[in-house]
């Protein structure tokens, strides 16, 4: 009798543990380290991940107020922030390092900058580390920001640091100055884009593509926020580090097309909204 009374909570506990582990694995992604806080060693460097709305917004099928792709003429048309990620040199990264839950009030004074430069480009709520759903910012803080210790100590400093880095290292401006502008027809040499960034910031970025379109550009930094080369797409497979780039030799920087009824109609209405003949 006593044994069966004890067994039930144990079964329940292990089911809860399995559910929590599955949830955490989903939040962390496949290359992240286990979520045992005590086992997560300090990270090696930061990656500032930027998204290209012209590519990401093509995935928007229906609109909602939280998706900046749906702001039509007011939608972002330059790289926007995805997150600042503490990474390891071996291509893995720590995730969900402390129990510090996101608190929107702590970043209220940064709100204008975050809305402009760090908008969500999707409608779905993001997973948080502790089993909930929340804002894109909540996901980035809980998954990545909490692993930035001891360099970044709290939520406010994390968001402020990211905004400052983004504004200081203006990737869109560098690409424009090198002659790379949004276009749905033009293709640019990947090497030219990489060289433009290297010349401006003296470090090699990492580009991520969706087919032939640039989707993300990552700038990497030492812990004192001096630029450094990104670990060029190293991923761990079967215990071996291998290098992988998802971009072809010639890539597009697609122009923003508002999501809607269809690409052609949407493009035409966007052109007329913007007074382009």
Residue-by-residue DSSP string for the chain: -HHHHHHHHHHHHHHHHHHHHHHHHHHH-TTBPPS-GGG-PPPSEEEEEEE-HHHHGGG--S--TT-GGGGGGGS--S-EEEEEEEE-TTS-B----S-----GGGGGGGHHHHHHHS---SSSPEEPTTS-EE-HHHHHHHHTGGG-TTT--SHHHHHHHHHHHHHHS-HHHHHHHTT----SS--EEHHHHHHHHHHHHSS--EEEEETTEEEEEEEEE-TTS-EE---TTEEEETTEEEE-----SEEB-PPP---SS-HHHHHHHHHHHTT--
In the complex, the smallest distance separating the C-beta of residue 13 from ligand U2P, rounded to whole angstroms, is: 28
Write down the catalytic residue from 78, 139, 142, 144. Answer: 144
Q: Tell me the number of residues near ligand U2P by CB under 6 A.
A: 7
Nearer to ligand U2P among residue 93 and residue 166 (C-beta): 93
Residues between 101 and 160 with contacts to ligand U2P, criterion CB under 6 A: 143
Q: Which of 78, 140, 215, 216 is catalytic?
A: 140
Query: Which residues, 76 to 95, sit near ligand U2P by CB under 6 A?
Result: 83, 85, 87, 93
Write out the binding residues for ligand U2P, residues 35-74 only, by CB under 6 A: 47
Q: How far is the CB of 92 from ligand U2P (least distance, A)?
A: 8
Our answer to whether residue 82 is catalytic in this structure is yes
87 or 180: whose CB is closer to ligand U2P? 87
CB-nearer residue toward ligand U2P: 47 or 180: 47
- Annotation marks residue 39 as catalytic: no
- Smallest distance, ligand U2P to C-beta of residue 127, A: 8
Which of 12, 15, 21, 29 touches ligand U2P by CB under 6 A?
Answer: 29
Q: Is 144 a catalytic residue?
A: yes
Please give the positions annotated as active site.
82, 140, 144
- Which residues contact ligand U2P (rule: CB under 6 A)? 29, 47, 83, 85, 87, 93, 143
């Amino acid at each position: 009798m006593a044994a069966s009374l004890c067994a039930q909570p144990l079964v329940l506990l292990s089911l809860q543990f399995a559910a929590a582990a599955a949830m955490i694995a989903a939040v962390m992604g496949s290359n992240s380290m286990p979520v045992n806080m005590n086992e997560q060693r300090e990270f090696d460097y930061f990656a500032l991940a930027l998204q290209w709305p012209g590519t990401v917004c093509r995935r928007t099928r229906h609109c909602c107020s939280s998706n900046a792709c749906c702001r039509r003429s007011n939608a972002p048309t330059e790289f926007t922030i995805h997150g600042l990620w503490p990474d390891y040199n071996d291509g893995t990264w720590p995730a969900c390092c402390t129990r510090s839950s996101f608190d929107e009030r702590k970043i209220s004074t940064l709100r204008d900058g975050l809305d402009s430069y760090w908008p969500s480009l999707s409608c779905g709520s993001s997973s948080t580390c502790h089993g909930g759903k929340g804002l894109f910012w909540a996901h980035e803080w809980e998954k990545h920001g909490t692993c930035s210790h001891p360099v970044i100590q709290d939520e406010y400093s994390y968001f402020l640091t990211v905004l400052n880095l983004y504004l200081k290292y203006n990737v869109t401006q560098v690409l424009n100055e090198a002659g790379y502008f949004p276009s749905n027809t033009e293709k640019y040499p990947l090497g030219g884009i990489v060289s433009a960034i290297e010349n401006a910031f003296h470090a090699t970025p990492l580009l991520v593509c969706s087919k032939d379109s640039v989707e993300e550009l990552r700038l990497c930094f030492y812990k004192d926020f001096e630029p450094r080369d990104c670990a060029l797409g190293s991923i761990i497979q079967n215990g071996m580090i291998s290098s992988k780039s998802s971009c072809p030799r010639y890539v597009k920087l697609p122009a923003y097309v508002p999501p809607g009824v269809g690409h052609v109609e949407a493009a035409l209405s966007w052109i007329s909204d913007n007074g382009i003949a």
